[in-house]
Structure 1
Amino acid sequence: MFKKITLLIVALLTIGLFFHFDLHQLLTLDGLKGSMDQFNQYKEQSPLLVIGGFFLLYVVVTALSLPGAAILTLAAGALFGLVEGLLVASFASTIGATLAFLVSRYLLRDAIKKRFPERLAAIDAGVEKEGSFYLFTLRLVPVFPFFLINLLMGVTSIKSWTFYWVSQIGMLAGTFVFVNAGTQLAQIDSLSGILSLNLILSFVLLGIFPLIAKAILNTIKKRRVYKNYTKPKQFDRNMIVIGGGAGGLVTSYIAAAVKAKVTLIEAGEMGGDCLNYGCVPSKAIIKSAKIAEQIKHADKYGLENSTPQFSFKKVMARVHQVIADIAPHDSVERYTNLGVEVLKGYAKITDPWTVEIKLNNGGTQTLTARTIVIATGARPFVPPLPGIEDAGYVTSDTLWSKFAELDEAPKKLVVLGGGPIGSELAQSFARLGSSVTQIEMADRVMIKEDTEVSEFATHALKASGVNVLTNHQALRCEKRGEQKFIIVKHAEQELEIEYDELLCAVGRSARLSGYGLEELGIETNRTIVTNEYLETLYPNIFAAGDIVGPYQFTHVAAHQGWYAAVNGLFGNLKKFKVDYRVIPWTTFIDPEVARVGINEQDAIDQGIDYEITRFEFKELDRAITDSATQGFIKVITPKGKDKILGVTVVSEHAGDLIAEFVLAMKHGLGLNKILGTIHSYPTWAEGNKYAAGEWKRAHAPQTVLNWLEKYHTWRRG
Structure 2
Amino acid sequence: MSAPAPVPGPTPPPAAAPHRRLPLLIGLALVAGLALWAWQHFGLAELLTLDALKARRAELDALVAERPLATAAVYFGVYVLVTALSFPGAAVLTLAGGAMFGLGWGLLLVSFASSLGALLAFLVARYLLRDLVQSRFGAQLAPINEGMRRDGVLYLLTLRLVPVFPFFLVNLLAGLTPIGAGRFYGVSQLGMLAGTAVFVNAGTQLASISAPGDVLSPGLLGSFVLLGCFPLLAKALVAGLQRRKVYAGWTRPRRFDRNLVVIGAGAGGLVSAYIAAAVKAKVTLVEGHKMGGDCLNFGCVPSKALIRSAKAAQALRKAEALGLRGVQGRVDFAAVMERVAGVVREVEPHDSVERYTKLGVEVLQGHARMLTPWTVEVRGADGRTQVLSTRSIVIAAGARPFMPPIPGLAEVGALNSDTVWSLRELPARLLVLGGGPIGCELAQSFARLGAEVTQVEQGERLMAREDADAAALVTASLQADGVRVLTGHQALRCEQDAQGKRLIVRQGGQEIALPFDQLLCAVGRTPRVEGYGLEELGIPLTPRKTIVTNGLLQTKYPNIYAVGDVAGPYQFTHAAAHQAWYAAVNALFGRFKTFTADYRVMPWTTFTDPEVARVGLSEDEARAQGVAYELTRYGLDDLDRAIADGTAHGYVKVLTVPGKDRILGVTIVGEHAGDLLAEFVLAMKHGLGLNKILGTIHTYPTLSEANKYAAGEWKRAHAPQGLLAWVAKYHAWERGA
Q: TM-score range by the shorter chain?
A: over 0.9
Residue range with higher mean Cα deviation, 185-194 or 41-50 = 41-50
Q: Quote the Cα distance in structure 2 between the aligned partners of 1:543 and 1:187.
A: 62
Residues 35-93 of structure 1, C-alpha deviations (whole Å, 9 max, x = no match): 44444444445444444443333333322223333233223323333233322222222
Pairing partner for 2:255 from 234, 241, 262: 234
Aligned to 1:602: 621
Pairing partner for 1:678 from 697, 705, 708: 697
Aligned to 1:621: 640
Q: Quote the Cα distance in structure 2 between the aligned partners of 1:209 and 1:255.
A: 35
- How far the C-alpha of 1:349 sits from its partner, in A, is 1.1
Aligned to 2:484: 467
Higher relative contact order (CA 8 A, sep 6+): 2
Task: Tell me if 1:425 matches 2:445.
Answer: no
Aligned to 2:426: 408
Aligned to 1:540: 559
Q: Quote the Cα distance in structure 1 between the aligned partners of 2:507 and 2:73.
A: 70
Residues 346-393 of structure 1, C-alpha deviations (whole Å, 9 max, x = no match): 001111221110012331111112222111111122223344344442
Aligned to 1:437: 454
Task: Tell me if 1:649 matches 2:668.
Answer: yes
Aligned to 1:660: 679
Amino acid aligned to 1:640: G
After TM superposition, the structure 1 = structure 2 runs for residues 285-684 of structure 1, keeping only pairs within 5 Å, are 285-304=306-325, 308-401=329-422, 404-405=423-424, 407-413=425-431, 415-479=432-496, 483-525=500-542, 526-684=545-703
Pairing partner for 2:187 from 152, 159, 166: 166
CA contact (8 A) 1:528 1:536 kept: yes
1:575–1:609 distance in 2 versus 1, CA, 3 Å: same
CA contact (8 A) 2:612 2:670 kept: yes
SS in structure 1 opposite 2:631? Answer: strand
CA contact (8 A) 2:430 2:520 kept: no
Pairing partner for 1:186 from 186, 193, 207: 207
Q: Quote the Cα distance in structure 2 between the aligned partners of 1:659 and 1:264.
A: 31
Q: Quote the Cα distance in structure 2 between the aligned partners of 1:191 and 1:242.
A: 62
1:624–1:42 distance in 2 versus 1, CA, 3 Å: same
CA contact (8 A) 1:598 1:636 kept: yes
CA contact (8 A) 1:248 1:561 kept: yes
SS in structure 2 opposite 1:293? Answer: helix
Q: Quote the Cα distance in structure 2 between the aligned partners of 1:409 and 1:432.
A: 10
SS in structure 2 opposite 1:55? Answer: helix
1:75–1:494 distance in 2 versus 1, CA, 3 Å: farther
Q: Quote the Cα distance in structure 1 between the aligned partners of 2:235 and 2:449.
A: 61
Residues 204-249 of structure 1, C-alpha deviations (whole Å, 9 max, x = no match): 2211222233333333333333343333233222221110101111
Residues 230-275 of structure 1, C-alpha deviations (whole Å, 9 max, x = no match): 3323322222111010111111122222222221110101110001
1:29–1:604 distance in 2 versus 1, CA, 3 Å: farther
Aligned to 2:118: 97
Amino acid aligned to 2:251: T
Aligned to 2:84: 63
Residues 158-192 of structure 1, C-alpha deviations (whole Å, 9 max, x = no match): 11111111111111111111222222233333211
1:634–1:45 distance in 2 versus 1, CA, 3 Å: same
Amino acid aligned to 1:17: W
Residue range with higher mean Cα deviation, 305-314 or 193-202 = 305-314
SS in structure 2 opposite 1:497? Answer: strand
1:364–1:14 distance in 2 versus 1, CA, 3 Å: same
Q: Quote the Cα distance in structure 2 between the aligned partners of 1:507 and 1:238.
A: 35
Q: Quote the Cα distance in structure 1 between the aligned partners of 2:555 and 2:226.
A: 32
- How far the C-alpha of 1:13 sits from its partner, in A, is 2.2
Aligned to 1:225: 246
Q: Flag structure 1 segments of 5+ consecutive residues without an equivalent.
A: none
Q: Quote the Cα distance in structure 2 between the aligned partners of 1:471 and 1:7.
A: 56
Aligned to 1:6: 26
Residues 92-137 of structure 1, C-alpha deviations (whole Å, 9 max, x = no match): 2212211221121111112222222323433322211111110111
Q: Quote the Cα distance in structure 1 between the aligned partners of 2:71 and 2:605.
A: 70
Q: Quote the Cα distance in structure 2 between the aligned partners of 1:643 and 1:468.
A: 38
Percent identity reads: 59
Residues 11-54 of structure 1, C-alpha deviations (whole Å, 9 max, x = no match): 32233233133334443333434444444444445444444443
- How far the C-alpha of 1:457 sits from its partner, in A, is 1.7
Amino acid aligned to 2:104: V
CA contact (8 A) 1:511 1:547 kept: yes
Amino acid aligned to 1:254: I
Residue range with higher mean Cα deviation, 210-219 or 519-528 = 210-219
Amino acid aligned to 1:192: G
Residues 270-314 of structure 1, C-alpha deviations (whole Å, 9 max, x = no match): 110001111111111111222222223323212358785223222
Q: Quote the Cα distance in structure 2 between the aligned partners of 1:663 and 1:470.
A: 36
SS in structure 1 opposite 2:93? Answer: helix
1:38–1:500 distance in 2 versus 1, CA, 3 Å: farther
SS in structure 2 opposite 1:524? Answer: coil
CA contact (8 A) 1:372 1:540 kept: yes
Amino acid aligned to 1:501: Q
Q: Quote the Cα distance in structure 1 between the aligned partners of 2:733 and 2:112.
A: 70
CA contact (8 A) 1:117 1:608 kept: no
- How far the C-alpha of 1:496 sits from its partner, in A, is 4.0
Residues 640-693 of structure 1, C-alpha deviations (whole Å, 9 max, x = no match): 333333222111111111122222322333333333333333222222233233
1:36–1:604 distance in 2 versus 1, CA, 3 Å: farther
CA contact (8 A) 1:114 1:609 kept: no
CA contact (8 A) 1:296 1:305 kept: no
Q: Quote the Cα distance in structure 1 between the aligned partners of 2:528 and 2:654.
A: 36
Q: Quote the Cα distance in structure 1 between the aligned partners of 2:275 and 2:366.
A: 22
Residue range with higher mean Cα deviation, 578-587 or 220-229 = 220-229
- How far the C-alpha of 1:454 sits from its partner, in A, is 1.8
Amino acid aligned to 2:368: A
SS in structure 2 opposite 1:502? Answer: strand
CA contact (8 A) 2:427 2:517 kept: no
CA contact (8 A) 2:286 2:367 kept: yes
Aligned to 2:131: 110
Q: Quote the Cα distance in structure 2 between the aligned partners of 1:53 and 1:387.
A: 83
SS in structure 2 opposite 1:388? Answer: coil
**Matched residues, number:** 713
Q: Quote the Cα distance in structure 2 between the aligned partners of 1:556 and 1:338.
A: 23
CA contact (8 A) 1:256 1:339 kept: yes
1:132–1:473 distance in 2 versus 1, CA, 3 Å: farther
Residue range with higher mean Cα deviation, 460-469 or 627-636 = 460-469
CA contact (8 A) 2:331 2:450 kept: no
